[in-house]
Chain A
Amino acid sequence: DTAVSQTPKYLVTQMGNDKSIKCEQNLGHDTMYWYKQDSKKFLKIMFSYNNKELIINETVPNRFSPKSPDKAHLNLHINSLELGDSAVYFCASSQSGARETQYFGPGTRLLVL
């Protein structure tokens, strides 16, 4: 059984389009995250939700809007896509608390042309 799943795995789109990436976890965790991995492989957190409430919002353009309909789901919607948005986006989940290990999804490779 997949613990943290993301759809789609690959996304190729044109500049200016709007796209969404979905994430689901079946681990019973109450905290979910979005991380971005750039072309140099550098990973940086974007958002974190705990029990559907936004708790971390790094300096991300407001074209990116996360939505958490329930504890098991965290979606990422991106408006007006730009070339610089091309990256791998990882969803992760954990129980709340800094000591808890974060488990990652398989990543979504986004390519903006």
Chain B
Amino acid sequence: AQTVTQSQPEMSVQEAETVTLSCTYDTSENNYYLFWYKQPPSRQMILVIRQEAYKQQNATENRFSVNFQKAAKSFSLKISDSQLGDTAMYFCASIQGAQKLVFGQGTRLTINP
């Protein structure tokens, strides 16, 4: 069975700093996909970034990048030049085969002015 673990319940950094959110997962599949979703106080779930497991290159989207370590089953999210609008819950998720997203417990990130 898939499991996703986020070991940091809460994090807090100053605006403009860089922050890294950790995620580990467990899967027996070779072909799977990994995602980071953001949930701001508005409650909307917003896709931040995705990574295909078969791609060695780490995905990047503007200030957001991942460090995907397949052998270690690790998928961390780095936010550079953090902004106040990055304050949100961040969820790591994986999907394989049956199309059901399996989520981690979430990390509450606060960006302080």
Contacts and interface: CB of A to CB of B under 8 A. Distances in A.
Q: Size class of A's contact patch?
A: 20 to 34
Contacts of A48: 99-100
B64 interface: no
A111 to B, nearest CB: 14
Given A43-B91, A101-B47, A103-B47, A94 B105 contact: no
A98 B105 contact: no
Interface residues of B, number: 27
A99 B33 contact: yes
A106 B43 contact: yes
Given A98-B33, A101-B50, A45 B101 contact: yes
Contacts, number: 62
A1 B43 CA distance: 18
A98 B96 contact: yes
A44 interface: yes
Given A41-B106, A98-B33, A101-B35, A90 B45 contact: yes
A56 interface: yes
A98 B43 contact: no
Top 6 nearest A-B pairs by Cβ distance?
A104-B45, A43-B103, A45-B100, A107-B43, A41-B106, A98-B95
Interface of B: 31-33, 35, 37, 39, 42-47, 50, 52, 89, 91, 95-103, 105-106
